[in-house]
Each structure stands twice: as structure tokens, then as C-alpha cells.
């Protein structure tokens, strides 16, 4: 009987976690980092990239979720463990800074 209760609770928690899943890096943010530089939209692109930077609180949450067993296993199941790591250690924000610098160099934007 106790095994059934445990099993039911396990599936309730897993399904609840999957419904509220948010990826650490949105598809739009990935697209913005990969799209070619268009100097006619340089200032707009820089503003968008600046807004996509992960806040310190987001970095902390991503880092914690890498080490909490339930959150880490969910990240592995969703295939975003590497993205969480990139956000947690600042690689994601550095990639955004690199893209902004590329736009500024190519287009002379400020």
C-alpha cells in the first residue's frame, strides 16, 4: 500500500514540474544570438540583447537547479542541463556581450 502511495505522489510531482517548465534560454534568445548582423537594426538588436541578459537572480536559480537532485534530473530529462550551466556560470551573458560587441564593431553602433 505504501508503495502505491509513493508511486502516485511521485507522478503527481513529476507532472506538476513538467507543466511549469521554463527553459533557461528561450528559443527567441537563441535566435537573436545566432541571427546575422543587420546594421539597419543595430540599435534595436543591441537593446533586445541587453534585455535578454540573465539577471543575477536567474543565474543563482540556474546554479541551484543544477545541484538539487529533482531539478537536475528534470533538466537532464528536458535536455537543458548544459544551458542551465551556461546561465549559472555567466557564459550566456558573455555570449550576449560578444554579440553586442560584434554588432558595434561591424556597424559602428553605440
4-49: pLDDT as tens digits: 676 666 665 555 444 555 667 778 888 888 999 999 999 999 999 9
**Is it the case that residue 59 has pLDDT exceeding 70?**
no
Q: How confident is the model at residue 22, as a pLDDT?
A: 65
Q: How confident is the model at residue 63 (pLDDT cuts 50, 70, 90)?
A: low
Sign of the Cα pseudo-torsion (57, 54, 16, 74, in order): negative
**Is it the case that residue 77 has pLDDT exceeding 90?**
no
CA distance 92 to 53: 8
Q: How confident is the model at residue 100, as a pLDDT?
A: 94
Please name the helix (run of DSSP H) or strand (run of DSSP E) that holds residue 12, with its range, or none.
Answer: helix 2-19
Chain-centroid distance, C-alpha 49 = 13
Q: How confident is the model at residue 40, as a pLDDT?
A: 92
Place of cell 550566456: 92
Amino acid at each position: 500500500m505504501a508503495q502505491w502511495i509513493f508511486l502516485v505522489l511521485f507522478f503527481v510531482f513529476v507532472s506538476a514540474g513538467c507543466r511549469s517548465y521554463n527553459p533557461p534560454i528561450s528559443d527567441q534568445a537563441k535566435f537573436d544570438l545566432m541571427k546575422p548582423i543587420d546594421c539597419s537594426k543595430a540599435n534595436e538588436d543591441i537593446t533586445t540583447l541587453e534585455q535578454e541578459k540573465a539577471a543575477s537572480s536567474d543565474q543563482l536559480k540556474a546554479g541551484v537547479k543544477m545541484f538539487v537532485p529533482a531539478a537536475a534530473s528534470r533538466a537532464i530529462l528536458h535536455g537543458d542541463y548544459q544551458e542551465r550551466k551556461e546561465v549559472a556560470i555567466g557564459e550566456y551573458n558573455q555570449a550576449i556581450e560578444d554579440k553586442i560587441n560584434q554588432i558595434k564593431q561591424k556597424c559602428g553602433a553605440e
